Amino acid sequence: MSNLHTELQRRRTFGIVSHPDAGKTTLTEKLLLFGGAINEAGAVKSNKIKKGATSDFMEIERQRGISVATSVMAFEYQGKHINILDTPGHQDFAEDTYRTLTAVDSAIVVVDVAKGVEAQTEKLVNVCRMRATPIIVFINKLDREGRDAFDLLDEIESKLGLRLCPLSWPIGMGAQFQGVYDVWSKSLLIYDQVNKQKVAEGVAFSDLDNPELVERIGAKAAETLREELELVAGVYPEFDQDAYLRGELQPVFFGSALNNFGVRELLNCFAEIAPHPQPKAAEERVVHPEEAKFSGFVFKIHANIDPNHRSRIAFVKVVSGTFERNTNYLHVREGKNLKFSSPMTFLASKREVVEEAYPGDIVGLPDTGLFRIGDSLTGGESLHFSGIPSFSPEHFRFINNADPMKSKQLAKGVDQLMDEGVAQLFTLVANGRKVIGTVGALQYEVIQYRLEHEYGAKCSYEPFPAYKALWVEGKDAGQLAELERMKARQLAHDKFGRLVFLADSQFGLHMTQEKFYRIVFHEKSEF
């Protein structure tokens, strides 16, 4: 037990979220670099740069320069065991990100200094606030010309509804950017002017009136820094760790992830203040991490992490107790006991077999199709962790087989990709045709690409006129039977056999709801 307690205190599990292109994957790379987990950081670029980013390991991500799947990486830093979940920023993959946020204890939100708060950032921060997840804000790309720091902080506060507390402050910006003053440890790191990629060792300035400061950064910059820090102290609240942990106060760091700048300050502070694994609510009760018995849940499934071996991996977040290799655990939904001979931990696509894992850790379990998103694994108790629903898709297309010789491969590929939660599959009641529903249109390309390259199957699409998919809860058998008779052409079953109504328009949905007033139409699958 004491070992479990020690390991618990060392764990930090967080997600990095932002709008596409704010530099999230680059920040992940640099955190891994400082953590000693990789030797050389690679940038995510579309132009086939020699070294791709460690966290973008799917072929399509390398080609398009965006992250489409959440990557899981772990490393050791200053005696802490840190688990990073790098999420896709692109809104077409938002569902993967929402699910990932159920598996983290805190989040780092990346904001581009030039673009400020963007739509996708607002959505994701709302999800964090809904769950009172502690947030740290990292304002990135200070090596480029951007907006005034105070204006940007105002915008973040008003648009995201956050209460900010700057723990580092930039000295200049763009061409004038000289470094970051670390308010947290009262030290200053200056760029090495010869090569802006390198950080000169930090000189500790606990006293900003120290004459050496002027020598280092020049009289004008020193004066501006003093004035701005005085203003910061007057305007923003002092850092209060309890308020941060309750999700009521958000520390802010400035930097340039591409140039390794401000990243170490962020990591040092994060390792010190971020929460260790937190309790999680199941339908039955709240589960605490320090409980002796193991429990965990599947928040993501990834097919073909290694295309050569047709492998599927279920990502399990450990909630309580110690997970041990070759030990029997109860798969709650199936009611079966399973044991795992090769559970894995990750550094992006590199994997290692792990003997044991503790709360906060993410374990990859080889999966032959037994798991679906939201499944619970326990040491015997029947627990159902909630909060991982499917959302109503916004785009719908028929999927057709473009190669009759490969219909088996297509069926298998579609089946496995839908288990991953990439998109949702609906089978029409009237004629058995398959319709794929997604949150964003880019998903269709990803599905088509992966079916061809990973399963050897070709597909084509045609439009299906639908406005929304709603899960049907019919407590009145008479009305349900009438709905099934009158609206047969708009009814389908989802992958798990649940009845879904595919409304053709907002007006049509409204009319149906009025007519069948005893039936409830839900926008998400968990109700």
Place of tokens 């991982």: 388
Distance CA 149, CA 155 (A): 10
Residue bearing tokens 């530099």: 23
- Say how far apart CA 177 and CA 190 lie, in whole Å: 9
Amino acid found at 128 = C
- Which residues on neighbouring strands pair with residue 317, listed in sequence order? 297, 362
Rg of the chain (C-alpha set): 25
How many Cα atoms sit within 13 Å of 263 on the Cβ side? Answer: 23
What's the pLDDT at 67? 40
- Residue 434's Cβ-count burial label (10 Å; 0-12, 13-18, 19+) is buried
CA atoms within a 13 Å half-sphere pointing along the CA-CB vector of 371: 29
Dihedral (Cα; 495, 437, 369, 282), 10-degree rounding? -80
State the burial class of residue 443 (Cβ atoms within 10 Å of its Cβ: 0-12, 13-18, 19+): buried
Whether the Cβ atoms of residue 254 and residue 177 lie closer than 8 Å to each other: no
Residue 337 near residue 328, CB atoms below 8 Å: yes
Sorted by sequence, the CB contacts under 8 Å of residue 322 that are 6+ apart come out as 4, 294, 356, 357, 358
Work out whether strand 344-347 and strand 350-353 pair parallel, antiparallel, or are unpaired: antiparallel
- Pick out the chain residues at pLDDT < 70: 1-2, 35-71, 86-97, 191-207, 303-311, 346-351, 386-391, 526-527
pLDDT reported for residue 71 = 67
- The residues, any chain, with a CB within 8 Å of residue 237's CB and separated by 6 or more, are 163, 165, 243, 249
Residue 128 vs residues 75, 246, 331, 392, 450: alpha-carbon distances, Å: 24, 12, 28, 20, 31
Q: Which of 92, 113, 84 is nearest to 17 (CA)?
A: 84
Report the phi/psi class of residue 517: left, alpha or beta, with left for phi > 0 and alpha for psi in -120 to 50: alpha
Nearest-CA neighbor of 372 among 315, 445, 321? 315
Report the pLDDT value the prediction gives residue 426, as an integer from 0 to 100.
94
**pLDDT reported for residue 103:** 84
Bridge partners (DSSP) of residue 500 are 471, 492
Distance CA 436, CA 423 (A): 7
Q: Which two tokens stand for residue 507?
A: 């007006």
Hey, is 102 helix, strand or coil? helix
**Domains of the chain listed by start with CATH number:** 2-273 (3.40.50.300), 280-378 (3.40.50.300), 395-522 (3.30.70.3280)
